[in-house]
Amino acid sequence: MDVSLVLKVAGVGILVAVAQQILSRTGREEQSMLVSLAGIILVLLLLVGEIGRLFELVESVFGF
């Protein structure tokens, strides 16, 4: 877990933003919404694993 995770999330965010704007400008609103949703779900899946690791780390440091 280092800089790469922040960069991955930012990269997914940029792709989703660009795809969302292109798709909504060419009139495909539903596809743009689906792309946003897919991006959010992808980032949440990445996050959930990291939050789990964070809580394990906190448990080991604070002795829960």
* Six token digits for residue 43: 């980032």
Q: Interior CA angle at 20 toward 14 and 21, to 5°? A: 95
User: Which residue in the set 26, 28, 52, 58 belongs to the binding site for other proteins (CB under 8 A)?
Assistant: 58
Q: Rule CB under 8 A: is residue 26 a binding residue for other proteins?
A: no
CA 37/CA 3 separation, integer angstroms:
24
> What region, left, alpha or beta, does residue 27 occupy, with left being phi > 0 and alpha being psi -120 to 50 degrees?
left
Residue numbers 27-56 binding other proteins by CB under 8 A: 36, 39-40, 43-44, 46-47, 50-51, 53-54
Q: Which residues bind other proteins (CB under 8 A)?
A: 1-3, 5-7, 9-10, 12-14, 16-18, 20-21, 36, 39-40, 43-44, 46-47, 50-51, 53-54, 57-58, 60-64
